[in-house]
Structures are given as C-alpha cells and as structure tokens.
Amino acid sequence: MNFDLADPASGSTTNGLYVETWGDGTPVVLVHGSLAIGNDEWEAQRPLAEQGFALRVCDRRGYGRSESAIGEDFLADAEDIVELMGAGAHLVGHSYGGIGAMLAAARYPERTLSLTLLEAPVTAVAHDDPASRGLVDEIRAMWTSDASDRDFVVAFLTAVGSDPDELGPDLLASAVDLVPVFRQGRPFFDADLPLAVLTAARFPKLVVAGGHHPGFDAMCRALAREIGGSFATVEGAGHEIQFTGEPINDLLVGLWGGVTTAT
C-alpha cells in the first residue's frame, strides 16, 4: 500500500484509508483517538502546516471517510501509520491512536523522527497507582455494559475527563454514531506493547497529560519513565489535549525542531 500524498490541498482515499495532507515539509503523522475523525481532532494543529511540516491526517479505519470496519483495531492502525510514515516522519498519537503509533514506531524506529503520545491508554504501566487502576477498571466495565450509545458516550467522555456539554451538539451526535466502532473494536487494554523496543530507540519521545485526571497523570508519567521519554502537562482541554492549540503546538515544534531525518 502506497499513499499518494503529493497534493497538500486535497484529501484522497487509497485502499480504503482517507488521508489529508496539510502543508509541505517534514512529514508528521497525526493519529486521532476513538469516537472522532481526523480533521475534527487536529484542526488546532493546522497552523503547523505553515511552519515547514506536512501534516498527514487520516480517518482511522471504521471512522469518517475511511472504509467501514466491524470495530477499530490498533493493529490495523499500525499498518496504516507505517505506510503514512514513508521514509521518515514524526508520529503523534492521541488516546487510542497512540497505541497504533507506538506499534508503528517500534516496528520501524529508523523511520521514526519522534514519538509524541497524548494520554495514550497504556495499561502496562502505573499498576500500583489506585487512580490509574480505577480509570482502567471503569472503562473495562463500560465495554460490556448495556447502556445506550448516547449514555455510553456521556459516561465514557466523563470518565476520561472530557465534558460532553463542551463538545457541542454536532460533535456529540457524531460521537454517538461512532460508538459501535469503538465498542466492537480491539480493546486498548489488550495491547501487547513493545515498551523495551521503544526504550532502546534513539528518537525523541514525549508523553503529555492533560492535568485533569490523576489516573491519566500517573499513567503518562509512568509511561514516560518506562520508554525513556520526556513528560509534560498541558491543561485546558481535558483529555482532548490537542484542542489547546498553541500550548501543545509549541511543545511539538520544540520537539521536532532540527529533527528532519531519521537517525
């Protein structure tokens, strides 16, 4: 699978995956999380396209304009991310999207310019922290609940620290429509992550928490230590850290600065 990313002004669908490219320059792959689509989740990062970066924004399979799927799958995401990386790219994964980004980076560390994880739900760390363990247990219980799709969205967003009322009716309705993709997908807590490979990799790594939930804070701190990465907190948008715009964008540019080729 090879994606034609030559036209930065338009989106295209190749082998069922919809991709838009914003800007020209060093490639950056932005991977959205659950219950969302690419251009909605990364709109606040568009200004980075004017700073010498080509932002590759996809709708993960099952979402948006990409092909339908029974459920989301971080293994399929990893395959797509590898293709989007080309000869080398910075990777940024939010929430569930961070799992696929980690797998892709571990598979091809020589093509990974950097890895940024925005509250990726990595359950293999922070076992001893009650808040982190409680957060994971709460989401596990939701997976098999008989709640309606709308009630599930409200409960899930509240659990991860996002305010459903702040999303607006259109985004909330879109999230409700995407619940089957999420609940029938491969659960993030089943991920077997190559943490040792990421630790040994030489590319820069950054793990960011939103400063809104002690469970995520503990998980992100533990993950940063585990993989030898830096840790930062960006407050103001709950779990949707990328919505803060300038604060997270400044961190990203600081990480990416000067790293234009793989080591």
**Can you tell me the mean pLDDT for 195-207?**
97
Does the structure show a pLDDT above 80 at 259? no
Distance of alpha carbon 221 from alpha carbon 175, whole angstroms = 28
Q: What is the pTM of this model?
A: 0.93
Q: C-alpha angle with apex 121: 188 to 83, nearest 5 degrees?
A: 70
pLDDT in the model for residue 261: 64
The whole-chain average pLDDT of the chain stands at 91
Pairing mode, strands 17-22 and 11-14: antiparallel
69-120 pLDDT per residue, tens:
999 999 999 999 999 999 999 999 999 999 999 999 999 999 999 999 999 9
